[in-house]
Amino acid sequence: MLVVSFGDLVLDVIVRLRQPLAVGADATSEITLTTGGQAANVAAWIAALGERARWVGKRADDLAGQAAATGLADLGVELCGPRVASGGGVIVSLVDPDGNRTMCPDRGVAVELTPEELDPEWFACDHLHVSGYALVARPVCSAALRAVALARAANARVSIDLSSWSAIRDAGPERFRALVTELAPDVVFANEAEEAVLGGPLANVVWISKRGAGGCSFEGGERPALPVERVVDTTGAGDALAAGWIVGGPDLALEAAARSVARAGSMP
């Protein structure tokens, strides 16, 4: 199976707080630099779970971009897409002692991808996974539409992750819902907040509701989260779950999510 993941590739700066933030002062932390971005996360987990993975997006050749690209390639992911000199994306993730995280993204050149920059050969695959972040900014949302059309022409299945309730809110829930409906995905991954701001599930779609520690609903079938000895970092757990489902269904999805929260960062 070849899975193409469409969206952002960034450098993740993960700040694990050892004490509460102190305005105007210091807060002891543990800081990790790693490859990130929702589409990159899914691609990395696809490769880790034993399938062929290809990432498609726009990236930069600056310090942040090179570090992120090297990290993803080292995990066995093929990278495709245009490259520019500067503008590599960076995401700062603040993780509290309980593993909950707040993300501060600078998406860089990822949002500048255009339909004309896509090569149809990149989308000759079995499954295309589209990050919802690619649907909330222009011109990359137009590139996402073309990516789905190219994948459909290759008889690929298509999934979309709604990605962020706040991004949907800022883009306009009605417009975002209309766009996702137009794309007609086979599968949608959403957490409860994203599902609520969207206005509920779409019809005629495999709808997978991610509930963190509360487990997951696979087309209405409730499954508990697998136990882990210690939750270290929830960053990217939903992306690991999506990759697991694409490769092997609910059992592998829950296993991948459990593996993800037991370590720092979003990469496998």
pLDDT value of residue 133? 94
Does 72 or 18 have the greater pLDDT score? 72
| Nearest-angstrom CA–CA distance, 158 and 130 | 8
Element (H, E) at 165: helix 165-171
Residue 234 has pLDDT above 90, yes or no: no
The string of pLDDT tens digits covering residues 92-129 is 988 887 767 788 889 999 999 999 999 999 999 999 99
pLDDT value of residue 262? 85
Rounded to the nearest 10 degrees, the angle between the axes of helix 38-48 and helix 63-74 is 20
Residue 183 has what DSSP assignment? H
pLDDT value of residue 14? 85
| Nearest-angstrom CA–CA distance, 178 and 185 | 12
Residues paired with 128 in a beta bridge: 4, 158
What percent of the chain stands above pLDDT 70?
100
Tell me the domains of the chain and their CATH numbers. Answer: 2-261 (3.40.1190.20)
Question: Is this structure's pTM higher than 0.85?
Answer: yes
